[in-house]
Amino acid sequence: MTCHSSDSTESIENERRSQSETQVAESDQSRIATAMRELKNTGWYWGSLTANGAKEILQDTSEGTFLVRDSSQRDYLFTISAMTSAGPTNLRIEFKDGKFKLDSVVLVKPKLKQFDSVVHLVEHYVQLSRTSCKGSTPLAQSNGTVQLLLTTPVYTSIPSLQHMCRIAINKTTRQVQELPLPNRLKDYLTDYTYNV
């Protein structure tokens, strides 16, 4: 029978905890690196654009026009800047426990969907906005709050025809591997699987 002292047991527990925290940190870094790579492929990620810069870009656009930029607040990585019926607004994107979600008031936070990437998050809210625009959903809620719509991205420059075709194909099918295309083209299509 082997007996460990409480100091030895505590040391083993601390070592396990440290290894676990290291793995989580590496996983988070990997997730953030992937999110950055995907964002750079979108054409609507503006990097270190300021809130005032985003406001200027969005000022004369229609409701639902948006862009994603780096957050100016240290606790957040990214911000969605969007035009609403009340003017340009900013929504922070929170990264916690390996997932991205919109920042919100405490009561709503548990109800918000979480995503593996920022582009997936934006794609979800774009699809949600487009379906709510087709219905008879009012633009302003009855309690006076403004409904956020994300419908049209603002590109940093004119996207390539290849990229626009990739988005169009992704809108019509999720089964790219079954298309009668060369493998190189399939690889290009699967490098960015979103339809925004």
What pLDDT is attached to residue 174?
86
Judge whether residue 146 has pLDDT over 80. no
Q: What would the pLDDT profile of 71-120 be if each residue is shown by its tens digit?
A: 999 899 999 999 998 899 999 999 988 999 998 765 566 678 999 999 99
Q: Identify the helix (H) or strand (E) that includes residue 49.
A: none
Query: Residue 181 belongs to what domain range?
Result: 158-196
C-beta neighbour count of 38 within 10 angstroms: 19
Look at residue 2 and tell me if it is in a domain. Answer: no
Same domain membership, residue 169 and residue 78: no
Same domain membership, residue 43 and residue 81: yes
Q: What would the pLDDT profile of 157-178 be if each residue is shown by its tens digit?
A: 999 999 999 999 989 988 989 9
What pLDDT is attached to residue 11?
63
Label residue 16 exposed, middle or buried (CB < 10 Å: 0-12, 13-18, 19+): exposed
Judge whether residue 28 has pLDDT over 80. yes
pTM of the model: 0.77
Same domain membership, residue 98 and residue 46: yes
Q: Where are the alpha helices (H) located in 44-182, listed in sequence order? A: 51-58, 118-134, 161-172
What pLDDT is attached to residue 50?
96
